[in-house]
Structure 1
Amino acid sequence: MSQKTKTIEVKESIVESVVELNDIQTNVSNTEPEMIILLDEGKALKLSPKTQSHVFYQLGEDDEGKRHIRMSGNEGGGLHTKIWIELDTIFSLLEKQSDKSFKSTVFKPVFKSGSSNNCGFLAAILRSKELGLMVQSEQSIFVHKVSKDYNDNKQRLLISTSFASA
């Protein structure tokens, strides 16, 4: 096989991969709810001890009554994705971690693409006093555990229209 033939095959393979990725990205963007009713907003201190800045988030509900959360902004630096994430998806991931410590990367499956800050920012939100779904592990400030109040806080998020903890 000549060098020219190999180059053409590689280019065709790259083009096919790009087309497949574009199809995936199109499908991902179509899975986000068309309309979300905003229920409440909040802020959480970022995980890094080097900063006192916050990441902002919103709680919303779609037309089927499913609850969603998204990062809506942040103080200081750091890009992030502003997609709505169904709370049931987050609950499912957390419940698989129930008795063990874990890193923020456990949330990678909820983000199809985007910033490397997404997982850490989401973890900060879920560890916030208002949500209380996770707590810091004894191992490190960047390692988490499911909160002992997880079930109560989960139910509150599913039925309440406010983040304010009870």
Structure 2
Amino acid sequence: MGNTMNLETETASIENATFCLLKTANANKLNASLEGSKALEYQLALIDGCVCLRISANASGGLFSKEWISLDCIEECLGKPLTPAIAFKSSMLKPVFTKGSSSNNAGFLCACLRAEGILSVSEKNLFLHLFTGDFAAWRKKLKKLGKQ
């Protein structure tokens, strides 16, 4: 995963897009009892004014997509009727990935969303999630990082 600085901002160009790296952080995998459970690294960036997330590294192996996923797409996929009372599987987020077909993608994304406080683990099963965050507040907080 390499040395990364949390909340480091950087401006660059990605495929003719305006790009600003907002944050690089680590996430526990869904099954924290496994060796290497803190092996996920993810990044958040502002790309052409849209906040996006990607899984950037997995120290313990396993395929995954490094594509940037917009928070809008994640929020839309989770749907409006989702509440903290409804537990759901990671597979609900499979449609947000357009590149690669790794079965790890959705689970790794959910691990990142848990690390950001958008999802929480269900009491029923450690592989089920509860939507407990606030996308609007999270997006606003991240956009502020891009203005620093």
TM-score bucket of the superposed structures, by smaller chain: 0.7 to 0.9
State how far apart, in whole Å, the 1-side matches of 2:81 and 2:124 are: 15
For residue 42 of structure 2, what is the aligned residue in structure 1? 57
State how far apart, in whole Å, the 2-side matches of 1:46 and 1:109 are: 20
CA-CA distance at 1:138 after TM superposition = 1.3
> Structure 2 regions of 5+ residues with no counterpart?
1-13
For residue 141 of structure 1, what is the aligned residue in structure 2? 126
State how far apart, in whole Å, the 2-side matches of 1:110 and 1:62 are: 17
Residue 53 of structure 2 corresponds to residue 66 of structure 1: no
8 Å contact from structure 1 (residues 33, 62) kept in 2? no
8 Å contact from structure 1 (residues 57, 72) kept in 2? yes
For residue 88 of structure 2, what is the aligned residue in structure 1? 102
CA-CA distance at 1:114 after TM superposition = 2.5
Amino acid aligned to 1:101: A
Residue 125 of structure 2 corresponds to residue 125 of structure 1: no
Rate the CA distance shift 1:62–1:74 in 2: closer, same or farther, 3 A. same
Residue 28 of structure 2 corresponds to residue 41 of structure 1: no
8 Å contact from structure 1 (residues 132, 153) kept in 2? no
CA-CA distance at 1:159 after TM superposition = 2.7
TM-score (norm. length: structure 2): 0.75
The structure with more radius of gyration: 1
TM-score (norm. length: structure 1): 0.68
* RMSD, matched Cα: 2.2
CA-CA distance at 1:84 after TM superposition = 0.5
For residue 60 of structure 2, what is the aligned residue in structure 1? 76
State how far apart, in whole Å, the 2-side matches of 1:146 and 1:140 are: 14
> Structure 1 regions of 5+ residues with no counterpart?
1-31
Amino acid aligned to 2:24: E
What do residues 92-116 of structure 1 show as CA deviations (whole Å, max 9, x unaligned)? 2234452211000001101123311
State how far apart, in whole Å, the 2-side matches of 1:34 and 1:114 are: 26
8 Å contact from structure 2 (residues 113, 119) kept in 1? yes
Aligned length: 127
For residue 9 of structure 1, what is the aligned residue in structure 2? none
More helix by share: 1
More strand by share: 2
Identity rate, percent: 37
